[in-house]
Amino acid sequence: MTTPTPPRASHHAPAQRSRRRSAKASPPPEPSQQRSRPRPRISLRTACRDWTSALPDLRKLLPPAARAAFAAGAARCAALSGATGPAEIAITLSDDAEVRDLNRDWRGKDKPTNVLSFPGLEGAMAALLPPEAPRPLGDIILAFETCRVEAEEQGKPLADHARHLVVHGVLHLLGYDHEEDAEAEEMEALETMVLAGLGIPDPYGADPYGETRA
């Protein structure tokens, strides 16, 4: 993992507690803009075997979700300005114990959470690199037990919830946040747009999986 910076470590609150959106997501970038941006390299490390047991196809599910979020939100990222080299994002699938330790050490909260994002390269540091150099955007770490419980409580597949949290984490690495209402509305709208492209219902809607539950 890259060395996290405490003030920028971010987490994601459960969807039911989130604000409702009124903002619209930004339209997808033009094809010419997409071609000029570096393609992301997504590394996926499984530190908790429960993830593999619960989601045997996780390597087919999570990296595409990360790439979709990157494509939708990369224009916001100052570290990518003028870059032609690849962006790098590291995803770790871990457990509550490790995430609790990280949450305590870097956010001062002695409890597990579903996902933590640790931005890596800042815009000022990126400006010192040659354009073709890789841009390590940071790390995302998910806690299995918390993610599983949340998925069960919200009546959604764990695969959908994990992909949502990966999308959320990538947007944090790109500079999006949800501390203020306007920021939260913009970020949630963009998440919903990305997830729709992956065939996942709006996680902030009222009972998005209601029609499929018994």
Query: Quick one: pLDDT at residue 23?
Result: 41
On whether the CB atoms of residues 135 and 126 are closer than 8 A, the answer is yes
CA separation for the pair 95, 72 (Å, rounded) = 28
In a domain, 16, yes or no: no
In a domain, 22, yes or no: no
Query: Quick one: pLDDT at residue 1?
Result: 39
β 10-11/40-46 pair status: unpaired
Query: Quick one: pLDDT at residue 140?
Result: 98
Query: Binding site for Zn(2+): residue ranges?
Result: 168, 172, 178
Per-residue pLDDT tens digits for 172-199: 999 999 988 999 999 999 999 999 999 9
Per-residue pLDDT tens digits for 99-116: 999 999 999 999 999 999
Query: Quick one: pLDDT at residue 2?
Result: 38
In a domain, 29, yes or no: no
In a domain, 93, yes or no: yes
Nearest residue to 44 via CA among 88, 106, 6: 88
In a domain, 182, yes or no: yes
- Domain encompassing residue 131: 38-198
Query: Quick one: pLDDT at residue 12?
Result: 65
In a domain, 115, yes or no: yes
Query: Quick one: pLDDT at residue 18?
Result: 45
On whether the CB atoms of residues 120 and 139 are closer than 8 A, the answer is yes
Query: Quick one: pLDDT at residue 124?
Result: 74
CA separation for the pair 92, 77 (Å, rounded) = 22
Domain containing 126 — which CATH number? 3.40.390.30
Structural domains counted in the chain: 1
The pTM score is 0.85
Beta strands in 12-143 (DSSP E): 40-46, 87-94, 115-119, 135-143
Query: Binding site: residue ranges?
Result: 168, 172, 178
In a domain, 49, yes or no: yes
CA separation for the pair 91, 168 (Å, rounded) = 12
Q: Apex CA 177: angle with CA 20 and CA 9, to 5°?
A: 130
Q: Within the chain, which residues score under 70 in pLDDT?
A: 1-38, 123, 210-214
In a domain, 99, yes or no: yes
Query: Quick one: pLDDT at residue 11?
Result: 61
